[in-house]
Amino acid sequence: MAPLVLLNAADRGDVVVAKRAGWRERVMARLRANGLDTELARGAAPTRAALALRAQDLGERRIRERLGRSIRQILDDARTDGPRSIARVPTQRSEVLAAAWELNRIAETMLTPGPVAASGVAQVRLLLINGAGPLYSRDVPGRLRAAATCALDALQPAFHW
């Protein structure tokens, strides 16, 4: 059975519409995950099925746990002064340590059952996968801490569109 998604009917104000998502929408949500995550991270409301499906995916326990474990691994690597694995993309150790409190809170939130906002989970995922982002780039000191703070704030669910 096709999953049921709740959409914000943008053309009708604050009306929520239930719709069955078809196979095309499910495939598009998977294929366009990065683009949909970018939209969700910016606070887009789920006005189309692919966006609503992606938001549901980001709230799943397995995705949240994977992201939380990744952040914990990054923190552990930064705190360890030994040789780093060449199999991983190197992170900015000093930036990770400066943002350790925020990153640890994100990891705790991701690993703890309970509601989280899809926009925050999308921000966390993009923070981890963006090779040109503040986790991996040295361009602006303090940018990782600012991004982590923003993601941590965005993880708090708001029960409005």
Res 30: pLDDT: 82
Handedness of CA 154, 148, 56, 68 (dihedral sign): negative
Reading the block at residue 21, the tokens are: 């998502």
- Considering the domain architecture, whether residues 143 and 67 belong to the same structural domain is answered as yes
- Considering the domain architecture, whether residues 127 and 65 belong to the same structural domain is answered as yes
Res 49: pLDDT: 81
- Considering the domain architecture, whether residues 41 and 118 belong to the same structural domain is answered as no
Domains held by the chain: number: 2
- Considering the domain architecture, whether residues 78 and 31 belong to the same structural domain is answered as no
DSSP 44-73: ----SHHHHHHHHHHTSHHHHHHHHHHHHH
Query: 71 is in which domain, residue-wise?
Result: 61-154
Which amino acid is residue 57, in one-letter code? D
- Considering the domain architecture, whether residues 82 and 48 belong to the same structural domain is answered as no
Res 1: pLDDT: 44
- Considering the domain architecture, whether residues 49 and 86 belong to the same structural domain is answered as no
- Considering the domain architecture, whether residues 27 and 96 belong to the same structural domain is answered as no
CA–CA dist 48, 46 (Å, integer) = 6
Tell me phi and psi for residue 80, to 5 degrees.
-90, 130
Q: Answer yes or no: is 41 within a domain.
A: yes
Res 89: pLDDT: 79
Q: Answer yes or no: is 30 within a domain.
A: yes
- Considering the domain architecture, whether residues 47 and 72 belong to the same structural domain is answered as no
Q: Answer yes or no: is 159 within a domain.
A: no
Q: Answer yes or no: is 114 within a domain.
A: yes
- Considering the domain architecture, whether residues 74 and 149 belong to the same structural domain is answered as yes
Res 83: pLDDT: 66
Strand partners, 16: 8
pLDDT means over runs of 10, the chain (161 residues): 53 56 77 92 86 89 96 94 70 94 98 94 96 90 96 86 49
What angle separates helix 143-154 from helix 118-129, to the nearest 10 degrees?
Answer: 150
Q: Answer yes or no: is 161 within a domain.
A: no
Domain boundary, last residue among 58, 89, 104: 58
- Considering the domain architecture, whether residues 141 and 76 belong to the same structural domain is answered as yes
Contact 127, 110 (CB under 8 A): no
Beta carbons within 8 Å of 157's beta carbon, 6+ residues apart: 115, 116, 117
Reading the block at residue 96, the tokens are: 């990770």
Contact 52, 43 (CB under 8 A): no
- Considering the domain architecture, whether residues 28 and 105 belong to the same structural domain is answered as no
For residues 111, 114, 118, 119, the Cα torsion angle rounded to the nearest 10 degrees is: -80
CA–CA dist 93, 81 (Å, integer) = 10
**Residue closest to 107 by CA, chosen among 35, 47, 155, 44:** 155
- Considering the domain architecture, whether residues 65 and 52 belong to the same structural domain is answered as no
